[in-house]
Structure 1
Amino acid sequence: MFKWLIRLLSLVFFLGLSGIVALLVLYQQIGAELPDVSALKEVRLETPMRIYSQDNELISQYGEQRRTPVSIEQMPQPLIDAFLATEDARFYEHPGIDPVGIVRAAMVWLSTGEKRQGASTITQQVARNFFLTREKTIVRKVKEIFLALHIEKQLSKNEILELYLNKIPLGHRSHGVGAAAQVYYGKDLADLTLAEMAMIAGLPKAPSILNPISHPHRAEERRAVVLGRMLETGKITQAQYNEAMAAPVKARYHGAEITLNAPYLAEMAHQFALTLFGEEAYTRGLNIYTTVHADEQQAANEALVNGLLGYDLRHGYRGSAATLWQGGTPWNEEQITEHLDTLPDYWPLLPAVVTGVSERSATVVIKEKGSSTLEWDGLKWARAYIADNRQAHAPKQASEIVKAGEQIWVRPQGEGWMLGQVPEINGALVALEPQTGAVTALSGGFNFTLNKFNRVNQAERQMGSNIKPFIYSTALDHGFTLASLVNDAPINHWDAGSGNSWKPRNSPNVYDGPIRVREALARSKNVVSIRLLRDSGIANAMQRLNDFGFDTASIPATESLALGSPSATPLQMVTGYAAFANGGYRVSPFVVERIEDANGLVLYQAAPEQQRIISEENAFLISSALGSAIQGGASGSRRWNGTGWRAGRALGRTDIAGKTGTTNDSRDAWFSGFNPNRVATAWVGFDDFGRPLGRTAYNPNLGRDQVAGGEFGGSTALPIWADYMKVALSHFPEQPRSVPAGLVSASIDTSTGLLSSQGRTEYFVKGTEPQRYSRPDSHQQFGGTSVTDELF
């Protein structure tokens, strides 16, 4: 018996020695192929690209992998204990491979024929995750063992564990425990409960089938295994075990913790980063700081959405989104809730289902809000939509508007809710810091999820009267002053080539005869704009438009450009107006202020440039006239309002200037305006170029302040601009524009444009001021055209 024992031990020794020799031989063969594990000291964990506002609000996150690197000191000890108890209980004792674990796993396999226990240590998993594939071969396993031994020599145990817990895939594109805590629970690691930590620690075995979102029952069973091992190893008490085991599974998917809604701007920043860094932008942990401030961006969002919803309210209710039941057995609340959970929401609109209708109210179930009541104040606006220019009678009871079983949209109204609908109209709002071109707010449409088309930089729309300041700017450099008289009279131009007459008209179709250039611009006189274009030259106007940044290659060089027939994007428009606001410089708009890597190293810094395109004097004069478009003015004893008078009423400031714009048949409504600190453009229209904005009739159910009639730049786009500017300009005290040294002032007679001792102050470029005083028998000139010339 003793001899057999000696022989068995000898055999074991021989086999063990043979195994060691075999490993040494194998190491000699593959050792040169092993990667240098010292690279782990400099490892860069792939993290997604994040986009922030100037005040560090998260706007968006891009990248396939969600990772939030966390130091070992920031990880809760129970979380570490949970992973060690499950994955590698002897981690702090073994040298990188665990012979005890290997023997235990082998014994289980020999006795049961099943692989119930893994033999890979955490160090081996680090070796595999960073350097090797997951192929199941002897060579890969040997490489893994040798690498694990090398890693243990290069790194401390805590460094190895930190790499592992930040690298390991944990399902739903989360990599590392920091990301998993956010993805499954929307929490930082320090805020996790023991049950949640155990749930995350159970994921490495099979994250796709053990995660609590896709497979909650399997995940709960796996959590029980983790908690059981923690109890066995003395890391938790029986009471802690019982409490964690009883905890319900509440995991759900949490996206990036977006704190500021600016998706159109985020996509512009995203594309900019891709241009600079290519596909590496997704993995280098870039932090992109945009030029917007949170309060201004939020104001832009609300201004545009409220403006578009306001248009929709005026034009009538188009009916429910769907009918879930009609007569018969109504759905129960569980059925309704399940259906609502499948529907999107478009801030501030939430889907809801009507469950009952009374005389002047309706009961509804609202997604994630439960049951509520729509009172009459939230329903009475909803006269039926017939066409864009026609609405039905005002409703008198709720049953004319909604019916039980209808899926509708609602939005907040005070402490309650009101009926809403997803608008078919759309729009854009963009604002710049005029001195630099930095974008301070940008909203490219009603809802990015609904439609990703960015109307700020992609929608080329006819400019309408928004073009006129550029035409007038040209005229001021070609013989005209703000006091020059131009004939505001109808034009009838015969075109022999086409055999047609061109008869452009003012809007409204009213003509005042001799009128000063200042008043003509402020009141947006179409025929005056054409006469100024004729006298200053189409070629000069085209060059001026080119200088302001418009694509003149696509603009026909005809007189119709004076009325805004060319097209431009809102971003081009606001950039053009910035030159009036900043004293005559063209700027290049930009949305990215700087880009940093994951360590805070600045990789890109914006360097704004200016290029002078008009004189400071020209910019001041146009700005002054556009100020009159808001503040109004007087000609003799006659008072007049400019087309932007609503802006003055809304903001109550005298340092703002702006211009309305409306195209033929009101297909596009614009307002562009500024003060020395902000310049902004608002545009409203249908994405269908041929669809006019229409008209609305007075709604007797609503108050006296409602907007009715035609949809124009001053009534449709201007309120959006004003709502944004209320917030944007609240940071800046009123700031009157300083008068350039090259200008002089003179008192003029507003009826004649000549000097008057009792007139109103006007500004002139030195040498262009009038030299004569007004007399009752003065024979006046209209720019370069005599008053005796034909008016047609």
Structure 2
Amino acid sequence: MLYSLCMYVCLASNVSDLTKLSQINFYPSLRIYSAEGKLLAQYGERKRTVVKFKEIPNKLVSAFVAIIDPNIYTPEKRSKKSMKTIRELDLFCRSNKKTTNNNKESSRKKNSQHNTQSFTKLPGPMIIQLTRYLISARRPRTRFSLCELVSISKKIKASYSKKQVLEAYLNNIYLGVRTFGVGAAAKKFYNKKLQELSLSQIAMLAALVGSANEYSPRNNPEKARARRMLVLSRMLKQQYITQQEFTVANQQPLEPYTYHNNVKSPYIAEMVKQHMQNNFSNKLNHKGYDVYTTISAKHQRLAEAALRKSLMAYSRRHGYRGVLANNPLNKKLTKSVLFNLFKNYHVQGHLVPALVVAVTKKQATIYLKDGRKGLINWEGVQWARQYISVDKISAPVKTINQVLRRGDIIYAELGEKNRWLLAQVPRVQGALVSLNPMDGAIAALVGGFAFHQRDSHGRFNRAINARRSPGTVLTPFIYAAALAKGMSVATLKNVGNAKNRASISTKNLLGNVSANKQSVPIKGMDENAKEMPVVSLLKKIGVEYFVAYAKKFSITKSQLPTNLAVKLDGGEFALYQLTAAYAVFANGGYKVKPYFISRIEAWDEGVVFQYKSALNCKKCKKSSGNISTTSATKRIQTAQVNLQLNTLLRTMLPRGAACTVSQGKGRTAIVAKEGSSQNQNDAWFIGYSPKVVTSVWMGFDSNRSLGSQELGAVAAFPAWFYFMQKSLAGSMTCQ
């Protein structure tokens, strides 16, 4: 059957000139890195990191040679048995290419003579595999004949050195999880560079060749261990390693590798992806790009955690909306039964669907969708008072079986000390942005609870694209305009009603799941009471004057109606925009443009883009090289007005939100502004020091009220405080 098929395709085959290794389409990936060089995301059908042969460790090359083609350097030692299939195909295709009905006998004689020839001119298994990829890469989704495969393989063998063949092979071999090449596999599976891999890890990568899923340590640990030992045994037999190295590597525990992305930052990754598609669309599918962002890995992790904790705390404060479903558990809980129970429920951020299988007054046993089993104690459920309305919840619950029953489908989250807690997906959303006010570099950005959140527009980036009413966070710009027009700080203090400041506690800001009663950490704050004095101030300086002054901060005229609605309604702003505007107050009065990409490198061209940053400096030095320069940015607010404004805002903070940060021998005050829009539809908190500006917004996508008590100092402040305190290494204190 094989011969019949081969005869047909060989007669119709027209071998193309596919032997140029330089023409291989590597399908390079778009890789996105943090400022420190840690991987944020990788896009592309095939995950690949192209490496040069000289960058590949010798032991790694030896491992692949040992398992794939041991005699690649000594083809004369290949056995007839190992080359039988390739030899027969080669002979068959050569004979059928020349055979006609009249010369069958002469063809048989030539075949008989060729059987005695050496195997040295025939391609080995490694070149055959490389050729298979080369043909499919150049002619995707197109069938090719076995004769064509052998013919092109022979041409590649004759045209290229062993090093060139090995480099092409090791950059193209499939190693599982859409990962091609040893460079990408080392980063994906072990989060290491090739030079950092241990011998046991090198052997495991080589063991994946041929059937990556079957030999995966995650899928089949026993098969993976046996396959790794086979690679090490062949390396020992061929004297690539010593007996001691074999023993040590073989005794290493099998690492069920995880798929490493150093930092989860899907919103910033999507921003980079869109930028690349808009600016490099013609080359994006043919070249590999490494994009280095301004994101700090540490700050991004903190930002994700801060917003998530704050949204979960809000959701707990407003009561439990109930279980997802209840199923009578009449059958044995086999894998298929559990699969059917969970198939309509998905992981949402850090929340995992779970099935309640047993309940007592103080404990619930759960099976999680990912196969784990856990317990939920009383402390993880007692927050779950029933939701009635945005401002009303039921009486405290006293036992777990008041909330949960056997057969309930719920969400669970892993809390402190690895204890499972009852949870629910927040309906409220939020965003956080943190940047360097000196040059506008974004250090952290989160656009919602979970990028892959279902049924809640998870991919919508609220930090950039949501336009919300700023409410009272627009007040500092009115104060700045008034100060620029000559009004005194003393006058504005009376307008701001500083004597009637509210108080806020920094304890348990992110919610305490063991609390029996709903707690509201702020009292006495009435934002509407402040509206009328500020409106009077706006009348005094003139709305048109304020609109003109606000334009300096890139606040457009369309966002500021030329009437008193500018304060009462405030137009619509993005958190990203307001953060950049507040950076002026932080850096001494200079306008900066936020940016998130510092440089872009192409695999075959080097640096193709580097951001030209503008700093708030009097004399800026040119950077090295001819790609990037720095320049002084424009001052838009005088130093005197800036100082007066910061002093004023400091006196208006709620008690408990007046924070300072240690800097050397002294301390620097952090200036902040909390705010809410009409009916508490939006909660804001923006705070800054000379080195960082961080802003937080919370609200519903449907633009409804957060609750009568959910002001900026209640809803948004906890996330801001958590992020700032952790990012400043514990050097921040508030009073």
TM-score tier, shorter chain, comes to 0.7 to 0.9
Residue 66 of structure 2 is aligned to residue 81 of structure 1:
yes
Question: Per-residue deviation at 1:163?
Answer: 1.1
Residue 472 of structure 2 is aligned to residue 465 of structure 1:
yes
SS at match of 1:692: coil
Aligned to 1:773: none
Query: In the superposition, relative to structure 1, how do residues 724 and 137 fare at CA in structure 2: closer, same or farther (>3 Å)?
Result: closer
Deviations 1:607-654 (A, max 9, x none): 223222221211111111111122xxxxxxxxxxxxx33322697976
CA distance in 2, matches of 1:651, 1:375: 39
Aligned to 1:581: 586
Aligned to 1:647: 657
CA distance in 1, matches of 2:263, 2:288: 20
Aligned to 2:555: 550
SS at match of 2:356: strand
Question: Per-residue deviation at 1:140?
Answer: 5.1
CA distance in 2, matches of 1:311, 1:732: 27
8 Å Cα contact 2:432-2:447 kept in structure 1:
yes
Aligned to 1:61: 42
Residue 694 of structure 2 is aligned to residue 680 of structure 1:
yes
Residue 486 of structure 2 is aligned to residue 479 of structure 1:
yes
Aligned to 1:496: none
Aligned to 2:608: 603
Residue 170 of structure 2 is aligned to residue 200 of structure 1:
no
8 Å Cα contact 2:128-2:149 kept in structure 1:
no
Aligned to 2:351: 349
8 Å Cα contact 1:212-1:251 kept in structure 2:
no
Aligned to 1:692: 705
8 Å Cα contact 1:466-1:564 kept in structure 2:
no
Aligned to 2:463: 456
CA distance in 2, matches of 1:475, 1:46: 58
Aligned to 2:112: none
Residue 574 of structure 2 is aligned to residue 569 of structure 1:
yes
Query: In the superposition, relative to structure 1, how do residues 172 and 527 fare at CA in structure 2: closer, same or farther (>3 Å)?
Result: same
CA distance in 2, matches of 1:424, 1:408: 15
**Counterparts in 2 of 1:381-780, with a 5 A limit?**
381-415=383-417, 416-450=419-453, 451-484=458-491, 525-598=530-603, 601-609=606-614, 610-630=633-653, 644-648=654-658, 655-689=669-703, 691-695=704-708, 710-730=709-729
Question: Per-residue deviation at 1:669?
Answer: 0.6
Deviations 1:189-233 (A, max 9, x none): 756579855653324xxx8xx8668x989x979x99x979x9899
Task: Identify which of 270, 287, 296 aligns with 2:273.
Answer: 270
Paired AA for residue 57 in structure 2: E
CA distance in 1, matches of 2:334, 2:149: 58
Query: In the superposition, relative to structure 1, how do residues 278 and 93 fare at CA in structure 2: closer, same or farther (>3 Å)?
Result: farther
Question: Per-residue deviation at 1:258?
Answer: 0.7
8 Å Cα contact 2:27-2:44 kept in structure 1:
no
8 Å Cα contact 2:559-2:573 kept in structure 1:
no
**Counterparts in 2 of 1:66-465, with a 5 A limit?**
66-70=47-51, 71=53, 72-74=56-58, 75=60, 77-84=62-69, 91=75, 102-105=86-89, 121=124, 122-123=126-127, 126=130, 129-130=133-134, 133=139, 135-136=143-144, 144=152, 147-148=155-156, 150-152=158-160, 156-169=161-174, 172-179=177-184, 190=198, 196=204, 199-203=207-211, 255=259, 257-281=260-284, 284-325=287-328, 328-329=330-331, 331=333, 335-336=337-338, 344-368=346-370, 370-415=372-417, 416-450=419-453, 451-465=458-472
Query: In the superposition, relative to structure 1, how do residues 288 and 182 fare at CA in structure 2: closer, same or farther (>3 Å)?
Result: closer
Paired AA for residue 58 in structure 1: L
Query: In the superposition, relative to structure 1, how do residues 484 and 234 fare at CA in structure 2: closer, same or farther (>3 Å)?
Result: closer
8 Å Cα contact 2:33-2:291 kept in structure 1:
yes
Paired AA for residue 652 in structure 2: A
Query: In the superposition, relative to structure 1, how do residues 119 and 253 fare at CA in structure 2: closer, same or farther (>3 Å)?
Result: farther
SS at match of 1:356: strand
Question: Per-residue deviation at 1:286?
Answer: 2.3
Query: In the superposition, relative to structure 1, how do residues 439 and 465 fare at CA in structure 2: closer, same or farther (>3 Å)?
Result: same
CA distance in 2, matches of 1:421, 1:730: 31
Paired AA for residue 538 in structure 1: V
CA distance in 1, matches of 2:656, 2:265: 28
8 Å Cα contact 2:289-2:600 kept in structure 1:
yes
CA distance in 1, matches of 2:442, 2:492: 38
8 Å Cα contact 2:659-2:670 kept in structure 1:
no
CA distance in 2, matches of 1:337, 1:103: 49
8 Å Cα contact 2:264-2:301 kept in structure 1:
yes
CA distance in 1, matches of 2:198, 2:528: 63
CA distance in 2, matches of 1:181, 1:622: 53
CA distance in 1, matches of 2:342, 2:681: 35
CA distance in 1, matches of 2:72, 2:88: 13
Deviations 1:365-418 (A, max 9, x none): 335573332221111111001111211111111111111111212223332222
TM (normalized to structure 1)?
0.68
8 Å Cα contact 2:363-2:377 kept in structure 1:
yes
Deviations 1:434-482 (A, max 9, x none): 1111111111111111111110001000010011111111111223111
Paired AA for residue 444 in structure 2: A
Query: In the superposition, relative to structure 1, how do residues 171 and 348 fare at CA in structure 2: closer, same or farther (>3 Å)?
Result: closer
Aligned to 2:33: 52
SS at match of 2:281: helix
Query: In the superposition, relative to structure 1, how do residues 482 and 523 fare at CA in structure 2: closer, same or farther (>3 Å)?
Result: farther
Query: In the superposition, relative to structure 1, how do residues 726 and 104 fare at CA in structure 2: closer, same or farther (>3 Å)?
Result: same
TM (normalized to structure 2)?
0.73
Query: In the superposition, relative to structure 1, how do residues 332 and 125 fare at CA in structure 2: closer, same or farther (>3 Å)?
Result: closer
Q: CA RMSD in A?
A: 4.7
Aligned to 2:113: none
Paired AA for residue 538 in structure 2: L
Instruction: Report sequence identity in percent.
Output: 28
Aligned to 2:509: none
Paired AA for residue 612 in structure 1: R
Question: Per-residue deviation at 1:534?
Answer: 1.2
Question: Per-residue deviation at 1:593?
Answer: 1.7
Deviations 1:165-210 (A, max 9, x none): 222445653323444577789887756579855653324xxx8xx8
SS at match of 1:396: coil
Question: Per-residue deviation at 1:294?
Answer: 1.9
CA distance in 2, matches of 1:521, 1:580: 25
Paired AA for residue 440 in structure 1: A
8 Å Cα contact 1:199-1:220 kept in structure 2:
no
Deviations 1:711-767 (A, max 9, x none): 101111112111111123338789xxxxxxxxxxxxxxxxxxxxxxxxxxxxxxxxx
CA distance in 2, matches of 1:523, 1:324: 48
| Farther-moved stretch of structure 1 (334-343 vs 540-549) | 334-343
Paired AA for residue 258 in structure 1: N
8 Å Cα contact 2:182-2:205 kept in structure 1:
no
Larger Rg computed on CA atoms: 1
8 Å Cα contact 2:527-2:676 kept in structure 1:
no
